[in-house]
Structure 1
Amino acid sequence: MQRIANLIVLKDNQVLLLKKPRRDWYVAPGGKMEQGESIYLAAIREFEEETNTHPHQPHLKGIYTMIIQEQDEVIDEWMLFTFVSHGLEGTPYETTKEGILEWHPVESLAHLPMAEGDRTNLQFAVTQQGIQYGTFVYTPDFELLDENIQASSEGEYQ
C-alpha cells in the first residue's frame, strides 16, 4: 500500500496550496514516502522539495485511508498522513514541475476545486484541534462515494 504525506501551512489566516495542472485542483504540497522514511520526515522533505521553503514545527493532523473503487471492487488504496505548520522559512516557488503555488484565505478551502476528501482533511487541519481519522471512497474520476470520519483530541483526564 502506498503511503503519502502532505503538509499545509497556515500563516496570517492564509494557506499555501499547490494547483495541480492535471485537473486544476488544489492540494497541500506532499508526495510519496520513501522506503523506511518516517511520516514526519516525509512530509517535511516533500514540502521542501515542492515549495523551496522549510515549515515551522509541523504536527500531524490527520490519518486517512483513500480508496478508488469501481463497481464495488477496490482498484487502488493508499494511506495519507496530513500535517499542519503555522509558518515557514523562505520564499515559495511560484511554479514547479508539480504545479503553481498560491496563497489562499482559509475560507477558500470551502469552495476551491479539490477532491472532497482533501477539502475535509485540510479544513480540519487548519481550523480544528486534535487529529482526524477517516476513510474516503472514490470512483476512478474522484467522485466521492463514501466517507467515514472520526476525530480525537487530548482533554482533561479524570
Structure 2
Amino acid sequence: MQRVTNCLIINNQEVLLLKKPRYGWYAMPGGKMEAGESIHESVLREVEEETGLIIDTPQLYSVATMTKASAQSPKDEWLMFTFKTDKFSGELVNETPEGELEWVPISQIDQIPTAPCDRLIHQYILKNDKHLYGSFALGENDQLISYRLNDN
C-alpha cells in the first residue's frame, strides 16, 4: 500500500495546485510518505519540497483509499490523507520537477482537469468545510469506476 499526503493551500479565494505532466491533471501539492514519518510530518515536508512554502497548522480533512485492480502491489492500493490550510510562509518556487504550480480560483476548480477522485475531494472540502472519508475504485487509466463517500 502506498501512503500519500497532500494539502489544499488557500489564499484569497484561490487554491495552489500542481499541473502534473501525466494526463495534464491538476493535483494538490504532496506526495508519498517516508517510512516512520507521521502524516503531519509528511504533509509539511512534501509541500515544502514541491512548492517552497512552509504551511502552518494544516488540518486533516479527508482520508481516502484508492484501489486499482490492474496495478501491481504496492500501487494497487493507496491511502491518501488530505489537509487544508490558509496559513503559510515562504516564497513559491519558480520551477519544480513535479509539474507547474498555479493559483487556481476556487470558482474554477470544477472546470480544470483533475483526477476524478481528487475532483470529488476538492468539491467536498471546499464547499462543505467538513471531514470526508472515501473509497475509490480506479480503472486501468485511473478513471473512476465507483466510489463511496462518508462525512461527519
Structure 1 residue 102 displacement after superposition:
0.2
Corresponding residue for 1:109?
A: 109
Corresponding residue for 1:27?
A: 27
Distance 1:126 1:93 in 2: 25
Q: How many residues align?
A: 148
SS state at 2:114 partner: coil
Distance 1:94 1:36 in 2: 30
User: Counterpart of 1:131 in structure 2: which amino acid?
Assistant: H
Distance 1:59 1:150 in 2: 18
- Identity rate of aligned residues, in percent? 39
Corresponding residue for 2:36?
A: 36
Distance 2:83 2:11 in 1: 14
Provide closer, same or farther for how the CA distance between residues 17 and 98 of structure 1 changes in structure 2, counting only shifts above 3 A: same
TM norm structure 2: 0.92
CA contact (8 A) 1:5 1:32 kept: yes
Distance 1:138 1:62 in 2: 18
Q: Which runs of 5+ in 1 are unaligned?
A: 153-158
Moved >4 Å (runs of 4+): none
TM norm structure 1: 0.89
Structure 1 residue 22 displacement after superposition:
1.8
Question: Could you report, residue by residue, the CA deviation over 1:19-48 in whole angstroms, capped at 9, with x for unpaired residues?
Answer: 001211000011010111111110111000
Corresponding residue for 1:88?
A: 88
Higher strand share: 1
SS state at 1:46 partner: helix
Q: Computing the radius of gyration over CA atoms, which structure comes out larger, 1 or 2?
A: 1
Distance 2:35 2:50 in 1: 19
Q: Which runs of 5+ in 2 are unaligned?
A: none
